Structure 1
């Protein structure tokens, strides 16, 4: 990272902090963000030092994790509002797009075309080339990013995060784009689209999802293949084995389970709570490391923050499918209260969320774009 960028990053972060003092912070107005951030369509941060009495909302934006002090009381909880098109804010460095490359995404409910793999969102599945990585697509705040994806990828944004309220002075260049597919809610806005004569979006709505491919004209055959492969999952279970709608999960004793494979299923935390979002299947040493990290966590659940300090923001529901039998284990992370992994044998019925556990489980394409309280500082990246 150059000195010039470090200075720009510090200045940007200071400007953000200066604009949201604790006494006057108000919930974001999505319409105002759209007006400020939307052009015409054609380091890990140290958390909670000196803030023990204040709840914190963490949002992933273009230059990293930004901490916004939250007011409590009559204002209620502050959540990230969707802005122009997509919302998770900016893009990840190319080096980060390979995170989770050791994980697999097995075919369970249908046979995939040779050279392709299944990706799922909500109640649909679609085929994408096996070689595609994971990354975040450019948004209206693309100028806050130092690197943009350069290889074909599956978009990690799902239209529900936050973008920086900044108007980039120049248009996104065609050479800053790459072939990619995005999954967003069928009833939400389509992904942000940069003005271009080269890159065009093609979309199809299937079930509860919109699938959008951003591509050049020479990629039209692949675009058609991806869009036409999108189908509603036949039995309510994704190719990785995750239920498309999260139901009640009975508590089980974790010790003694066969953890040779661990599937991490992530579900929506907000108004569509319990709808399937993404998943990753950990095998071999990745599964073993995740399970050992879980068994080493303290009993009792948490870390939580009292409602009077943090509000009532709920965490991200996770479902762990453990072993060849895919024994279901419930968990919740990055919320004000209720954090932990359910364990019938643990004191209080839960195990505590720790940083090593989150690093082992939250692997692309499973990603948290907003969080609350101390658990968010452990799990977000």
Structure 2
């Protein structure tokens, strides 16, 4: 019997989808930790990517975009931390291409099937000899070490595996990412990688990725800064054996839901691991004039330094939320706004509600803070994620290179 229910979607123990292999190692780009790795598909995979909007787009980011745009195909991605290869001029462009070629030669595949991703300090030339030696030492394993090799100021690896049924076949989606500071997508100082053994054509995958990123990674903020190296890349190698997914496929909604679950989980992981952060903040906006305005208001609130400082200090100052709403260009019923923090209504009809200040302050000590806003201007919604602003954030970024 054909199973098409979206209830087949499950968050599972970490595993790589069929036909994907990885490895990682220490190339000497940073002290005492893996800093180089790759992600390899058994066969060329359909691929899609989204990239930073920063004008100083780093050489590896530009190269990967160019490579994917050729035919929406990739078979491998080689990645490093410790050096962003950004603002490195002609030499940086050469080094990114050399890194791509070194991985392709090692794997005996075409260079146009290899993406490159780098993260770390901006403005320093890539130590190409170390990179090439490190790539030469990589193998094909099923370990999760590569998920740690891309970390910079992150406190932990960020991963998720989701499975679902497509054409009665098990399809696996596994994603990992890095990101902790310089996060104000489009997109963040983040690298995101999603692998799946589903069959889905590259152009279809690109459309799905672009749409889902707008609802997930582009709705997180830590500090209002956009990096030069951001990208999210998806590879789908078809090894699950399902019929190619299109909007007319009976199980396409199931795959879309599973895909969004992967990206939203990773987005929240980045927000919650913001540099120095002690709390994950989620803002849910209802009553928006349209979806775009709902997202705009949610992200403005979660990105407000006043709101972030308020949450860090446990100060139940709902005026900070109101000022954030008011500084947007969104439609707002000025006499009908409601605000709740952790389920406690603090504002009703744009005026103070009857609540216990001590009760709200107590909930602000929790690791998760949820702010719900109703603009009373329409029927659409928006959600964004961020974190509090702590003393530790300044400490980390005042000494980033040391």
Query: Could you state the TM-score of these two structures normalised by the residue count of structure 2?
Result: 0.24
**Structure number with higher helix proportion:** 2
